[in-house]
Structure 1
Amino acid sequence: MKRLLTILLLTLCVNLSAQTLRKYSNEFMNIGVDAAALGMSNAVTAFSSDVNSGYWNPAGLVNMEDKQLALMHASYFANIANYDYAAFAMPLDHDSAIGISLIRFAVDDILNTTELIDSEGNINYDRISKFSTADYGVTFSYSRRLPIDGFNYGVNAKVIRRVIGKFANSWGFGLDAGVQFESKNNWKFGLMARDITTTFNAWSIDKEEFAKVQDAVEGQNQELPETTELTIPKLQFGIAKKFIYRHDFSILTEVDLNIRFEQNNDLISTSVASINPAFGFEVGYIDMVYLRGGVGNFQNELQIDNSEKIGFQPSIGIGFKYNCIQVDYAFTDIGDQSVALYSNVFSLKIDFDCFR
């Protein structure tokens, strides 16, 4: 119990930083959605053209022919944390489309033992309660074709809600922007700029509840943290092409570059920016069965002997589409190549075109 309270206190103090740019604030919005994309190591910025484009690149929404609905569920850290996603999008006309999506990343049923011992030193297990720490992200998307042939653009407006039980909560707001271009020989290019305005989060802390945590954990006398976060922008650039073989088989390949404006352990890192590549592919048969794979999250990992080793995160996935219903599965982090535990991800996509 003491360990859980220590973790909670440290979470509050780390998350609520002192009015500075937070490199990793709102990271739950960067995990990714759609098992098809996760099976390709998130390398879909250029090719994304369905309801999930609201997350990957809103410029792709304009390529939908009818309304679409998407759902996804994944469990992380040995089923301790649950990640859920739902999205809906629809075309307004031939040249524009809109969408909305919701992400929830949470750890539920955490034991709150701050009131386990009363003022007289008596232990009363009935005083134990449960709480959740949950992050919510709601995204409103708009996409439109440009007068230039092959160009689309899209924008996202994001509302962020983060809750740590009764101890603290925050509201945030940010903007994304994306473009896509398809050449005459079917090469596709995409650029997604996340948090272009630096996403803003304002925290509200319950001082009384926070004090209970401080009193419950020995030696923890941290000052009340400040309440403002700003998330720095990120860029994703992708190139993709789809090949058709004997009418029945298709091969989609894409290479993405994920760019952060910081120096870290990414494969390419400078004092100005770091670049992390990702590669994904999808083999399809008669537009019904899909096999996917990818490699990403390349990191320069320091070993015990001070040497460096390049770590990476592979992914595989399969998909099945019948009429307008598509079910996808992804298995990530095979072989423990990264510090995160492997996860099984399932998603469902429904295209309303069949119901017209």
Structure 2
Amino acid sequence: MKNYIVILVALTAFTTQAQTTRKYSNEFMNIGVDAAALGMSNAVVSQTADVNSGYWNPAGLVHIEDNQLALMHSSYFANIANFNYIAYAMPIDDRSAVGISLIRFGVDDILDTTQLIDEQGNINYDRINTFSTADYGLTFSYARKLPLDGLNIGFNAKVIRRIIGDFASAWGFGLDAGIQFETKNDWKFGLMVRDITTTYNAWSIDESKFEQISGAVAGQNQELPETTEITIPKMQFGISKKWIFNYDYSLLAATNMNVRFIESNDIISTSFASINPALGFEFGYTDLVFLRGGLGNFQNELQIDNTQDLTFQPNFGVGFKYKGIQIDYAFTDIGDQSAALYSNVFSLKLDFSIFR
């Protein structure tokens, strides 16, 4: 009869003490976009070169030759949570480009039972309502080619909006910066720093709503959570190279080193930073059909006997591109090698050159 305890947990989970640093704030912005990238375990920072570069590395936007539109949908936790993404990018001139993208990650139709029992102890199921908890990320991107041949830079300005029904909401702001460099022998390098100035979230909590659930746990006096959280920077470094065989066949190999400035159970972890590698491959035929695979999310998981086992997340993907239309599919966490749940991801990319 006290399911509303879940709402209290949600409130405290999304807030933190004032002027303290949350290690995992705004994690929905780290899930990833584009089934083609997810199929390669996100090892795309160095070679991303389309509308999705606004997310992976804004420097890659300079490679687009016409306006592009991207869409993606995926579901998590047995379709309880839904992730949706839309992006648009366009070149300004032959040296610069801009883009805009929107991410929504949310759970809808959650039962609100805070009014189920009235002051006299009567139960009225008509007083049950539903609400949604949703996170939104709106990103504005700019990229430009530098005078040094092969060197490009890009920047993101992000607006974060997080909502927990009528109980609480937050606004956040942050910046990203990225660099790409391509050598004359086709090696590509990329560096992406997320939340480079830290991303600041300010929460607003409805005190009247909180009072309805603050006594949910007997004998506990829950105080109103504080309303400040800060997302610390993350860094991704990537290297990739593409080979062409007999004009029709191609092989792209890429690797990323994902760095977080916290101590965690990543495969490489210190008190200063943790490093998690990712490996990705893409086999292409006549730039029409693509087969992708990757390994990522390497973790040292503590077992019940206090030993540690290395786990990882394998991904698989396929893609089809015809003229300016590209459809991609990714199947993540094959064989359940890690604790993460598998997901089916679909994405669509449209190049406006097909209308020219």
Query: TM-score of the superposition, structure 1-length normalised?
Result: 0.98
Match of 1:328 in 2: 328
* Structure 1 residue 337 displacement after superposition: 1.5
Change in 2 beyond 3 A, CA 1:218/1:109: farther
Aligned positions, number: 355
Tell me if 1:80 matches 2:80: yes
Match of 1:8 in 2: 7
| Equivalent position SS for 2:213 | helix
How far apart, CA to CA, are the structure 1 residues paired with 2:202 and 2:354?
44
How far apart, CA to CA, are the structure 2 residues paired with 1:114 and 1:237?
47
Q: Is the Cα contact below 8 Å between 1:301 and 1:308 reproduced in 2?
A: yes
The equivalences for 1:1-356 within 5 A come to 2=2, 4-18=3-17, 19-356=19-356
Root-mean-square deviation over aligned CA pairs: 1.0
Q: Is the Cα contact below 8 Å between 2:35 and 2:345 reproduced in 1?
A: yes
| Equivalent position SS for 1:226 | coil
* Structure 1 residue 204 displacement after superposition: 0.2
How far apart, CA to CA, are the structure 2 residues paired with 1:220 and 1:341?
34
Supply the AA of the counterpart residue of 1:263: E
| Equivalent position SS for 2:148 | coil
Q: Is the Cα contact below 8 Å between 1:100 and 1:139 reproduced in 2?
A: yes
How far apart, CA to CA, are the structure 1 residues paired with 2:93 and 2:176?
22
Supply the AA of the counterpart residue of 1:323: K
How far apart, CA to CA, are the structure 1 residues paired with 2:219 and 2:76?
31
Q: Is the Cα contact below 8 Å between 2:41 and 2:314 reproduced in 1?
A: yes
Change in 2 beyond 3 A, CA 1:287/1:56: same
| Equivalent position SS for 1:20 | coil
* Structure 1 residue 11 displacement after superposition: 2.1
| Equivalent position SS for 1:93 | coil
How far apart, CA to CA, are the structure 1 residues paired with 2:220 and 2:28?
27
| Equivalent position SS for 1:11 | helix
* Structure 1 residue 255 displacement after superposition: 0.5
Change in 2 beyond 3 A, CA 1:253/1:220: farther
Taking every aligned residue pair, what percent have the same amino acid on both sides? 71
Supply the AA of the counterpart residue of 1:232: I
Q: Is the Cα contact below 8 Å between 2:302 and 2:309 reproduced in 1?
A: yes
* Structure 1 residue 120 displacement after superposition: 1.7
| Equivalent position SS for 1:21 | coil
Question: Deviations 1:258-284 (Å, cap 9, x if unpaired)?
Answer: 000111100111111110000001001
How far apart, CA to CA, are the structure 1 residues paired with 2:150 and 2:338?
38
Q: Which moved more, 1:116-125 or 1:141-150?
A: 116-125
Question: Deviations 1:300-342 (Å, cap 9, x if unpaired)?
Answer: 1112222211100000000011111100000001111222211
Supply the AA of the counterpart residue of 1:102: L
Question: Deviations 1:161-181 (Å, cap 9, x if unpaired)?
Answer: 000000000000000000000
How far apart, CA to CA, are the structure 2 residues paired with 1:122 and 1:305?
49
* Structure 1 residue 59 displacement after superposition: 0.1
* Structure 1 residue 213 displacement after superposition: 1.9
Q: Is the Cα contact below 8 Å between 1:240 and 1:254 reproduced in 2?
A: yes
Query: TM-score of the superposition, structure 2-length normalised?
Result: 0.98
How far apart, CA to CA, are the structure 2 residues paired with 1:217 and 1:159?
35
How far apart, CA to CA, are the structure 2 residues paired with 1:176 and 1:242?
27
Supply the AA of the counterpart residue of 1:242: K
Supply the AA of the counterpart residue of 1:241: K
Structure 1 regions of 5+ residues with no counterpart? none
Q: Is the Cα contact below 8 Å between 2:68 and 2:351 reproduced in 1?
A: yes
| Equivalent position SS for 1:201 | strand
How far apart, CA to CA, are the structure 1 residues paired with 2:210 and 2:219?
15
Q: Is the Cα contact below 8 Å between 2:214 and 2:223 reproduced in 1?
A: no
| Equivalent position SS for 2:101 | strand
| Equivalent position SS for 1:211 | helix
How far apart, CA to CA, are the structure 1 residues paired with 2:241 and 2:192?
18
